[in-house]
Amino acid sequence: MHTANPKPQPQPEDYRELDRKILRLCGELYDLDAASLQLKVINYLQTETRSQCCWLLLVSEDNHQLFCQVVGDKVLEEEISFPLMFGRFGQVVETKTSITLQDVSQEERGLLSSLLGFEPNSMLCVPVISQATGQVVALACTFNKLGGQRYMEADEHVIQHCFCYTSTVLTSTLAFQKEQKLKFECQALLQVAKNLFTHLDDVSVLLQEIIIEARNLSNAEICSVFLLDHFSHELVAKVFDGGVVNDDEKEFRIPADQGIAGHVATTGKILNIKDAYSHPLFYRGVDDSTGFRTRNILCFPIKDENEEVIGVAELVNKTNGPWFNRFDEDLATAFSIYCGISIAHSLLYKKVHEAQFRSHLANEMMMYHMKVSEEEVTKLLHSGIEPVQKIHPDFSEFTYTPRSLPDDSTPMGVLSMLEDMGFINTYKLDLHTLARFCLMVKKGYRDPPYHNWMHAFSVSHFCYLLYKNLQLSNYLEDIEILALFVSCMCHDLDHRGTNNSFQVASQSVLAALYSSEGSVMERHHFAQAIAILNTQGCNIFEKFSRKDYQRMLDLMREIILATDLAHHLRIFKDLQKMADAGYNPRSQSHRSLLLCLLMTSCDLSDQTKGWKTTRKIAELIYKEFFSQGDLEKAMGNRPSEMMDREKAYIPELQISFMEHIAMPIYKLLQEIFPRSAELYERVAANREQWAKVSHKFTIRGLPSNNSLDFLDEEFELLQSQGAFGDDSHRMNGCLDDDCDKHGQ
């Protein structure tokens, strides 16, 4: 290492002159601002060493950084920071020995030139050592000794002599300035708290505010906040860098045990990464694809009052330094407390609102429906449970039309089916509780044209038919079949005759409660089923073990949510793969998929009946659709074609529905259950019937009363012409009073 050129030591009179100058300097060091104090010391050093420029590199308390606030006679607007190992300067801190320009590499000289604004031709760097701790607290650097001379040992003594008197003042002023900075940060945190706690009513807006405040406090380039989903064990982000994901976009999810954010979520400890690319947990694929460069990361946990991790915040790229320092870590720790409190209260606020919505819905439902009286239960059970053969000889056949059963006979029909399947005996179901439950479910349905109790009964009856004709016991467990049957009963509870998109568009109470999760109506149907089970005297599963009870509710939730056709379309490829590979009853995923398929096939089972039933069902469905379309028009919205009575072309809509939805479903059912082939054949035959009468609509147009009765004339004409061959009696299921005569 090169040192300053040797020179005779200063004589006592020289020191006396220096002391007088130092005393004058110390008398001027009354500033509370460290930058102003440094400016005076630097001017003194420049004069006494006869240098063009001078600066002080201050050493951070954690010994990781060097930072500069003043260069020559200029106070920097933003301090400059260097890694402690910045070339040979870090060695000065470590060895406590001086260096000159000859000790510095060409690359380091180029960096010095860019910072100084001129080419240094000489330099002297002297460590400033604290008298209290013996540690290096700063590096005093002088550049370009006037006259083109080289720095001498005497210059080094001048610098050391200066800081014998001024280092204590300098360190004290820096400590005071740090306290002032902490005070400012505390005030900033109080303002942060005010800003955060005014946005508790909306979690997304709150998260956006957290990102803005975190980025401003830490001087980060980018910030992201993830919330921990304990149910799926994933970290979920809907807000990035201050931007909220649109409602129609999917939120971003990552496993809670992977990557940097996952590590922090798992350990609950802050992670400060100075070089992202060298860290084993960092995935640089995103940088490679976007062109963005991640230099450093500060990732910290967000905890609730129980010290449980509820989220993670990730700060990327320190903008006013090489990386995030210890001060940033302390600030992040303090900031995370405010975040945790605000997020926890925001989520609690949301739960309170949801509870209010549920209460409103429950009150609304109770106002609409009446409780089941004991007289109704006694009347239903007065003569015992009726055998299914007594209801109708063909009650267990796919050709039977359950809609032909009188409405007041349907509760007994439910009891008869449960008795015939053996579930009443197997699960020791209390008859009075079961009867009350059936009557309560029946009353839980409103009276829209299609999604009413008769639809639920028909769907439940088809589940019974599947059990009787396809030997479901060989494919599913008894508890799964019972869950399927009860779900069929409850799957459209409290249906209002409007679909999910209408609930969202109209900003209904249901949408406010369920829209963030999707499947608005299906979640409401399940919630109403649970409400009925929780009604006194209606819990048919009260004798179940805790494990079986929880499993029953989980199955019902899964099955009822599967009635959303959007869900069916999402899993259709998985259903096809299962059918192609062959059903495996030992596979939990196969059983789950099969339950979803069976529920959907039950829900659409009207399409497997005869033409008259199919035609009548279409009339009911479109009557309900058109009512929704009228409401949408009244709201100023444009309904879809199938909802618009002025634009709907029913035969083509039905053909499209059967080709793209119904027929693929029953085709899959046929592949898994060959005995169900007649169901697919009947759906296909009904599709052909719609095609044969389609041209009649072109000629006549849609009737003004939306009735499709005139299609019966075409059917009877085609039937008389032998269009359906010997199978016509199986096609002719109906809803008319004489419907049961066709089987005699």
> Could you tell me which residues come within 8 angstroms of residue 87 by beta carbon, excluding any fewer than 6 positions away?
104, 105, 107, 108, 111
417: pLDDT strictly greater than 90: yes
Amino acid at 281: L
Query: How many Cβ atoms from other residues are within 10 Å of residue 98's Cβ?
Result: 23
- CATH code of the domain covering residue 256: 3.30.450.40
DSSP 321-387: SSS--HHHHHHHHHHHHHHHHHHHHHHHHHHHHHHHHHHHHHHHHHHHS-PPPHHHHHHHHTT-PPP
248: pLDDT strictly greater than 50: no
d(CA 232, CA 561): 17
Count how many domains the chain has: 4
Query: 């940097």: which residue's tokens?
Result: 260
My answer on whether 426 and 464 are in the same domain is yes
The pLDDT value recorded for residue 169 is 80
The pLDDT value recorded for residue 13 is 55
The pLDDT value recorded for residue 380 is 96
d(CA 575, CA 271): 44
Where on the phi/psi map is residue 72: left (φ > 0), alpha (ψ -120 to 50), or beta?
left
My answer on whether 378 and 333 are in the same domain is no
Mean pLDDT value across residues 134-140: 88
Indicate whether 356 belongs to any domain.
no
Task: Show the DSSP H helices in 604-723 as ranges.
Answer: 611-634, 650-657, 663-672, 677-700, 710-720
- Degrees to nearest 5, angle at CA 253 with 251 and 254: 165
21: pLDDT strictly greater than 50: yes
Dig out the tokens for 722 from the structure: 């032998």
Stretch among 201-205, 390-394, 614-618, 733-737 having the lowest mean pLDDT = 733-737
According to DSSP, residue 291 is labeled -
Dig out the tokens for 46 from the structure: 């420049």
My answer on whether 739 and 632 are in the same domain is yes
Q: Which three-class secondary structure state does DSSP give residue 455?
A: helix
Mean pLDDT value across residues 263-277: 92
Indicate whether 611 belongs to any domain.
yes
- CATH code of the domain covering residue 733: 1.10.1300.10
Instruction: State the burial class of residue 493 (Cβ atoms within 10 Å of its Cβ: 0-12, 13-18, 19+).
Output: buried
The pLDDT value recorded for residue 505 is 82
The continuous run of DSSP H or E covering 567 comes out as: helix 565-581
d(CA 684, CA 662): 9
The pLDDT value recorded for residue 253 is 84
My answer on whether 569 and 656 are in the same domain is no
The continuous run of DSSP H or E covering 159 comes out as: helix 153-197
Mean pLDDT value across residues 615-633: 92
d(CA 298, CA 239): 18
d(CA 258, CA 493): 41
Q: How far is CA 46 from CA 143, 248, 508, in A?
A: 9, 64, 75
Greater confidence (612 vs 252) lies with: 612
Stretch among 84-88, 93-97, 352-356, 683-687 having the lowest mean pLDDT = 84-88
Indicate whether 710 belongs to any domain.
yes
Indicate whether 183 belongs to any domain.
no
The pLDDT value recorded for residue 14 is 58
Pairing of strands 234-240, 252-255: antiparallel
Query: 């306290």: which residue's tokens?
Result: 179
The pLDDT value recorded for residue 560 is 97
> Could you tell me which residues come within 8 angstroms of residue 129 by beta carbon, excluding any fewer than 6 positions away?
96, 135, 136, 137, 163, 167
d(CA 544, CA 238): 40
Mean pLDDT value across residues 593-610: 97
Dig out the tokens for 129 from the structure: 């050592």
The pLDDT value recorded for residue 78 is 66
Max avg pLDDT among 40-54, 90-104, 376-390, 508-522: 376-390
86: pLDDT strictly greater than 70: no
725: pLDDT strictly greater than 60: no
Query: How many Cβ atoms from other residues are within 10 Å of residue 337's Cβ?
Result: 14
Orientation of helix 565-581 relative to helix 663-672, angle to 10°: 30
Mean pLDDT value across residues 241-259: 67
196: pLDDT strictly greater than 80: no
Q: What is the extent of the structural domain holding 573? A: 369-603
Q: How far is CA 522 from CA 4, 59, 498, 500, in A?
A: 83, 63, 12, 9
3-state secondary structure 571-591: HHHHHHHHHHHCCCCCCHHHH
Dig out the tokens for 148 from the structure: 């083109």
Instruction: State the burial class of residue 159 (Cβ atoms within 10 Å of its Cβ: 0-12, 13-18, 19+).
Output: buried
Amino acid at 532: I
Domain boundary among 603, 628, 644: 603
Mean pLDDT value across residues 81-95: 79
By C-alpha distance, which of 290, 198, 305, 193 is closest to 240? 290
Query: pTM, whole model, 2 decimals?
Result: 0.56
Domain boundary among 603, 621, 638: 603
My answer on whether 472 and 553 are in the same domain is yes
d(CA 657, CA 666): 13
My answer on whether 522 and 444 are in the same domain is yes
The pLDDT value recorded for residue 353 is 76
My answer on whether 598 and 614 are in the same domain is no
By C-alpha distance, which of 563, 396, 591, 601 is closest to 487? 563
1: pLDDT strictly greater than 50: no
Under the banding of pLDDT at 50, 70 and 90, the label for residue 65 is confident
Under the banding of pLDDT at 50, 70 and 90, the label for residue 91 is confident
Under the banding of pLDDT at 50, 70 and 90, the label for residue 724 is very low
The pLDDT value recorded for residue 165 is 80
Domain boundary among 297, 317, 349: 349
Query: How many Cβ atoms from other residues are within 10 Å of residue 132's Cβ?
Result: 10
Dig out the tokens for 190 from the structure: 């109080």
Indicate whether 469 belongs to any domain.
yes
d(CA 303, CA 89): 40
d(CA 335, CA 283): 26
Indicate whether 377 belongs to any domain.
yes
293: pLDDT strictly greater than 60: yes
Span 468-502, pLDDT tens digits: 999 999 999 999 999 999 999 999 999 999 888 88
Question: Contact at 8 Å (CB) between 560 and 525?
Answer: yes
412: pLDDT strictly greater than 90: yes
The pLDDT value recorded for residue 517 is 73
Indicate whether 89 belongs to any domain.
yes
Under the banding of pLDDT at 50, 70 and 90, the label for residue 58 is confident
661: pLDDT strictly greater than 90: yes
Mean pLDDT value across residues 152-171: 85
Cα 531 from chain centroid (whole Å): 27
Mean pLDDT value across residues 273-299: 87
> Could you tell me which residues come within 8 angstroms of residue 380 by beta carbon, excluding any fewer than 6 positions away?
411, 412, 415, 435, 438, 439
Stretch among 326-340, 376-390, 672-686 having the lowest mean pLDDT = 326-340
Question: Contact at 8 Å (CB) between 158 and 49?
Answer: yes
As annotated, the binding site for Zn(2+) includes 455, 491-492, 603
Mean pLDDT value across residues 701-723: 54
Under the banding of pLDDT at 50, 70 and 90, the label for residue 688 is very high
Stretch among 29-38, 262-271, 401-410 having the lowest mean pLDDT = 29-38
Mean pLDDT for all residues in the chain: 84
15: pLDDT strictly greater than 90: no
Mean pLDDT value across residues 706-720: 55
By C-alpha distance, which of 48, 195, 66, 175 is closest to 124? 48
Greater confidence (138 vs 743) lies with: 138
Cα 147 from chain centroid (whole Å): 69
Question: Contact at 8 Å (CB) between 377 and 436?
Answer: yes
My answer on whether 213 and 339 are in the same domain is yes
The pLDDT value recorded for residue 435 is 97
The catalytic residues are: 451
The pLDDT value recorded for residue 713 is 56
Mean pLDDT value across residues 454-481: 97
My answer on whether 82 and 161 are in the same domain is yes
Return the bridge partners of 236, or none: 227, 253
Gyration radius from the chain CA atoms: 40
363: pLDDT strictly greater than 60: no
Query: How many Cβ atoms from other residues are within 10 Å of residue 278's Cβ?
Result: 8
Mean pLDDT value across residues 535-559: 95
d(CA 362, CA 545): 27
Stretch among 368-377, 492-501, 704-713, 735-744 having the lowest mean pLDDT = 735-744
The pLDDT value recorded for residue 397 is 96
Greater confidence (584 vs 103) lies with: 584
Mean pLDDT value across residues 404-426: 97
By C-alpha distance, which of 301, 9, 336, 37 is closest to 154? 9
Percent of the chain with pLDDT over 70: 85
Q: Which three-class secondary structure state does DSSP give residue 518?
A: coil
By C-alpha distance, which of 179, 211, 184 is closest to 195? 211
The pLDDT value recorded for residue 9 is 53
My answer on whether 515 and 614 are in the same domain is no
My answer on whether 495 and 541 are in the same domain is yes
Query: How many Cβ atoms from other residues are within 10 Å of residue 641's Cβ?
Result: 13
My answer on whether 298 and 343 are in the same domain is yes
The pLDDT value recorded for residue 729 is 41
The pLDDT value recorded for residue 602 is 98
d(CA 654, CA 660): 10
The pLDDT value recorded for residue 740 is 42
Indicate whether 320 belongs to any domain.
yes
d(CA 303, CA 458): 50
The pLDDT value recorded for residue 93 is 86
